[in-house]
Structures are given as structure tokens and as C-alpha cells.
A and B are shown apart, each in its own frame.
Chain A
Amino acid sequence: MSYLLHLLTYLGIYVIMAMSLNIIIGYCGLLTLAHAGYFAVGSYAYALATLKLGWGFLPATGLGVGVAVLLSLAVSLPAWRFKGDSFVLLSLSVQALFFSLFYNWFDASEEPGTWTNLTNGPFGLANIPRPAILGIELDTPGSMAALSLASAVACGILSWRLLSSPWGRLLKAMRDDELAARGLGKNTRLARVQAFAIACGMVAVAGAIYASYVSYIDPNTASLDASILMLSMVIVGGAGNFRGPLVGALILLAIPEALRFAQIPQAAASSLRLMAYGLLLILMMHFRPQGLAGDYRIE
């Protein structure tokens, strides 16, 4: 039972990751590798706010969202000019920057969470408290799963509301032909900044839930592998609509679990999982570039 609840907690986190990345890939038409960086920003902000400031879940998550929204300018402003391959490279450099920051903001002589040792470098931050909302401690697997799924539903409603509004239509028009959209008087730069801010803020929520659930975070949260995992969800499930990311999150959650039941040694399972991701991506790009349930074909 607790295994199932564990999976449901992860499902909620994955769904938020995929939905948020879908705003950038499926609605802005930009492939970003920096998304794990914003996930980690949410995790670290939550961890530091709870550990050092003693904040509760909601304000600590709010802090993570705020910082991620602010830092989203690091990718959204260059996206005014950079498109296609050059934007992918730019997002990769932002991702490397985040990773490097989390890894190197470290001073062994100081306590974690101080200005000189903010992230505790490679050792990460441990003993992150479980969330408490309105005085209720969410310290059981069931309550964590409920929190994660409720957050996913809330993000889903937010995403649905936004993407089915004229703002979502504007994003799609901008993705299809930015110059034509500008020629109709649309401020595509502002729309892109808004889209990145919402997507990065949303994934920071997932980061906060993750940190509170696992109780430990380290720079690997912001690794390129994590970004590729998120990208795989959107590519496999499909971009440009609401259901694609849900399908992708479910499949990418199911693959490692299926390998677990296949009685493969732990060391081999990790390599096999990577191979499965790679194979899946190649097959999807070749046979179904719009993903299993997507509307938008990534060129």
C-alpha cells in the first residue's frame, strides 16, 4: 500500500513537471534543458525556508515559486532573440549555471544555509521537514500522496484555465508564426516572459513537494539527467495539449517501476532505464513526433 502511495506521490510531482514544461515546449515551441534547474530552485528555496527560517509549507513553497519566477527571466529574456537550436544551447548553459551554483555555493567551515554555504554543495541539505498545512502535519505516505495529487490537480486546473483562454491561443499563434502574430499587434515578447514565469513557477511547486517528501536534496536535482527526464515526458506523451503531458508522466513513471519488477540487478537497472529512455525517444521521434497524445510536432 505504501508503495502505491509512494508512486502516487511521484506521479503528482511528475505530472506537474510535465505540465509546466509543456507550456514552454508545446505552447512556446521552445525546447528547454534548464527546467530541472527551476525544479531545484523550488526545492532549495523550500528547504532553506523551512530549515533556516522555520517557515511553513505554503510560504516556503511561495518563496520557491517567487524565486523561480524571477529567475525565469534568465531564459525568457534571451528567448526574445534565440530560437531553435541556439535556444537549446542557451538553456543548456542556464542549466549548467544552476547546477554549478548549487554545487559550488559551499564552504565547509560554515553551517549549511548561511550566505557562504547556502546549498552545502555536493552534500546537499538533509532533514528537510515534512509539510504542515494549517497546523496539520503531513507526515504519512497517504497525506503526502494526497498533497502531491492535490497540487497536481490545482496545477492542472490552472494550466487548463490558462491554456484554453485567449492567452493560450496567443501562445499557439506565436509558436506557429511569431512574425505574423507581431504583425497583428501582439506583444509576443511579453507573452513569452509570462509563459516562462508560469512554467518555472509551477515546476518550483513540484520541487518543493519533492524536497518535503524526500527530506533531502543535492545538486543532482538540477542535473541534466533530470531535465532530460522531464523532456522525455513531454516528447513521449506529446506536447501542445492538456492530455499529452499526463500520458508522458505516467509512462516515464511506469518504465523504471516495470524494470524493478523484472528482477534486474539494481546496478544494471539504472543503465537499462537510461537505455529505455533513449530508445523510447528515438522511436517516438521517428514514428510519432507529436508524441502519443500530443497535438504539436516538435521540429
Chain B
Amino acid sequence: MAEYIILGIFLLGSFLVLVAGIGLLRMPDLFLRMSATAKAGTLGTGLMVLGAAIYFNEFAIYTRAIALIAFLFVTAPVSTHMLGRAAYFDGVPLWKGTIQDDLRGHYKVTTHSLEEEIVPEKDQPHVEDEVDAFEINK
């Protein structure tokens, strides 16, 4: 019985990682790709670590699994945040289907700060032209 539970957990975990991979291919811009991977990654890997811990059913493995999941949950958002910030600052274009962009015009290139109000045009980072490489909605 326990084996089937472990099997289910592992299958679900690897399925989520697979979906993350498919999302990486299908999503049209960098931010959506990060949305697709970083997240399915957390629950996917979390489930697989959990499955391994249940399989071994030892105290030492449980503590390691908990530490692993904790570090995963603490570090993943930090790297995602850094990537997103750097990409936006560098002018990586958002997909043309983006319906709202509150961040546009708030970065100040000269001081690398993020202002509350819209900064003058010459201080804004240059945004590259949008290229819709995937055209997924067609």
C-alpha cells in the first residue's frame, strides 16, 4: 500500500517538472517562462523529496528532506526575483499580449533605483522591440 502512495507522489512530482519543461518551451516571454518553471519546480521537487523521505522512512532522511525543501523555498524566489529584475532593467520586452505593465517607466537608469513616480524618458531603461517568436495564440 505504502508503495503505491510513494509511486503516486513520485509520478505527480515528475509530471509537474515535465509541465515546467513544456511551459519553458511554450510560454512567449521571459517572465511567463519563469512563472512556469520556478513554481512547478518547487512543488515538483518538493514532492519528489517527500516521496524519497517516505520511502526510506528514517529520521535522518526526514530531517534532510525538510532542510532541502526549506532551502528550496527560501532560495528559489530570490534567484527568480534577481533574474526578473535584471531582465526588466535590461529592456527584455514583455510579450505583446501583456495587458498591464505598472513597472514601465519606474526604473531610473542613472541611479539604478525604482521610483514611485514615472521618471523622465531619458532616465528609463531602453526596452527592446517586441519579437513574438512563438505566436502561440495563432
Q: Do A and B bind each other?
A: no
Which B positions have Cβ atoms within 8 angstroms of A? none
Which A positions have Cβ atoms within 8 angstroms of B? none
